[in-house]
Structure 1
Amino acid sequence: MPALGTTMPVTGAPCWVSLVTPDPHAARSFYAQVMGWEFLDSSLGSDFSLAVADGEPVAGLGYCHDSGLASRWTPYFAVADADETADRVRERGATLAVGPARLGGGRAALAADRDGAAFGFWEGPALAWAVGQGSAPARLDLMTRHAFEAAIFYAEVFDWTKPSGGCTVDYAQDHVVVQVAGHTVATLWGGSVESAPDPKMRPRWVVDFHVADSRATAAAAVVAGGEASPSPPPPGCSKDAYIIRDPSGALFTVSGRPGGP
């Protein structure tokens, strides 16, 4: 397989997603069986591996040394200065959980917004990857209580509204859309926990992957030891969407490809 290229990601935009799990071997087996991904060694070290599909990067998989912590999918946003971003997170009443710390050729940090939704940020070059393109996730959706309040928080942390920034923000009636050069890279949705598709879902970033057959993928997830349930998709998405929890509890969604069966 040819070497995967790197680039400087657009500041403020999602630049990666990663699964953190206490059992990487079981996770690789599950996602290989359900999603058809292959896994490669990562340049970030032995605790990390890289999921690829059709020779393109999909996501990262990291080992969580604390088996008591919940597995989860986490989006990372590109920043110019990780220390400055960390200060902005703390100044706005959110939580900085880890870092910023040197990792491979960059610096990374993990945080949670004021409603508890986990996210990360990354300073440095990253793999050539973009939401909704190639083998990357099809969507990133923040499911939260107050979309507009959340949008203000993230816009201030990641400079979404700066004229010199690479992202633009569009406030719709019930959601907020973040775009790069006219391409949607994240959507923030509001609403009470009780009205969410899954009552157990608390505010979080949800990673959605396009698959050829979402029903078959959901069935495969159950056979592989996970859970799956139909999910009312956001407007404009495939009607065949499913919420999946892998055996360690990490939640993600799958949906049919536009124009697919």
Structure 2
Amino acid sequence: MSSRETAKVRCVAAVPCWVSLMARDLEVPTAFYGPLLGWKFEPAPDRFGPYVHAVVGDEAVAGLGVTGSGWGMPVAWTSYFGTESADAAADAVRERGATLAVGPLAFDAGRVVLAADPAGAVFGIWEGLPGRARRLELPGAPVWIELRTPDPFAAALFYGEVFRWDGRDPERFEVRWEHDRVVLRTEGYSVAALAKEQSGGPAGMPPHWEVFFSVPDADAALAQAEALGGSVIGPAFDSPYGRVARLQDPEGGRFAVISLKN
């Protein structure tokens, strides 16, 4: 991240604090997500290949990069959890029978790890400049992530041990059961959930973290995504947190948009 954006995008221990898309051709997602989510793009350090930041107002809300030619990775969004120590978190991943794919690696904004939990869901770990959790009440910002997995309780135990959820300040940090999900809350609002795959979910998908971006109107975003060359995974529906549409970008990256309840 550039020095201007690094000051705004802070690593918050134990909670999701960044999302990044690895695409095949950077021009394709920028042409799609720019008009859909109101993003502008700014160049970012490209030590590992072309990379830009998606910006709403003056806030960097996501990163978009290009997969290495030899990686063979699918186009996908990755959610990153903050940590005080990438090394300690990586050790905890190994000790609990999960997979380390990349890192820890040093880059401009700190140190990063890519891993997969025991069920195979990919996630990132980021050790960076510390900050306090806050929710960006901006259209186009990521406002929610949700793990779709066969056993959310086993997953909650795994992530809870890796990120020490039980040892955090209960005044600022809470894990609870609501709306048939294990929900992670910080600073008084929900930031993530772990849910069993349900009817209406993306059929045939392996366990994965789903990223939700805020939009004023999920139904309008669904129609716009199709016009921009994306595809619709299913009809828009009402969830306990707002109206949701699940979409796929032109290169196959899956994500969701949500019109949050007031």
TM over 0.5: yes
Q: Is the 8 A contact 2:8 2:59 kept in 1?
A: no
Shift of 1:234: 3.4
Structure 1 residues 1-261: aligned runs within 5 Å: 3-4=4-5, 5-6=7-8, 8-43=10-45, 45=47, 47-66=50-69, 68-125=72-129, 130-131=134-135, 133-134=137-138, 136-164=141-169, 167-172=173-178, 174-191=180-197, 195-228=199-232, 229-238=234-243, 241-259=244-262
Letter in structure 1 aligned against 2:17: C
Moved more, 156-165 or 178-187: 156-165
Closer/same/farther in 2, CA of residues 7 and 31 from structure 1, 3 Å limit: closer
Q: Is the 8 A contact 1:141 1:186 kept in 2?
A: yes
How many aligned residue pairs are there? 254
Shift of 1:42: 1.3
- Distance in 2 (CA, whole Å) between partners of 1:163 and 1:256 is 30
- Distance in 2 (CA, whole Å) between partners of 1:127 and 1:23 is 32
- Distance in 2 (CA, whole Å) between partners of 1:42 and 1:197 is 34
- Distance in 2 (CA, whole Å) between partners of 1:153 and 1:104 is 29
Shift of 1:157: 0.4
Moved more, 112-121 or 124-133: 124-133
Q: Is the 8 A contact 1:18 1:62 kept in 2?
A: yes
Q: Percent identity?
A: 38
Shift of 1:101: 0.2
Q: Is the 8 A contact 1:18 1:60 kept in 2?
A: yes
Q: Is the 8 A contact 2:86 2:104 kept in 1?
A: yes
- Distance in 2 (CA, whole Å) between partners of 1:111 and 1:50 is 22
Q: Is the 8 A contact 2:23 2:64 kept in 1?
A: yes
Closer/same/farther in 2, CA of residues 133 and 237 from structure 1, 3 Å limit: same
- Distance in 1 (CA, whole Å) between partners of 2:181 and 2:167 is 20
Q: Secondary structure at the match of 1:198?
A: coil
Q: Is the 8 A contact 2:12 2:132 kept in 1?
A: no
Tell me the alpha carbon deviations over residues 97-120 of structure 1, each in whole angstroms, 9 at most, x when there is no partner. 111101113000111111111100
Shift of 1:129: 7.2
Shift of 1:217: 1.4
Q: Which runs of 5+ in 2 are unaligned?
A: none
Q: Secondary structure at the match of 1:141?
A: strand
Q: Over the residues paired in the alignment, what is the CA RMSD in angstroms?
A: 2.4
Letter in structure 1 aligned against 2:149: T
Q: Is the 8 A contact 2:16 2:191 kept in 1?
A: yes
TM-score, structure 2 as length reference: 0.88
Q: Which runs of 5+ in 1 are unaligned?
A: none
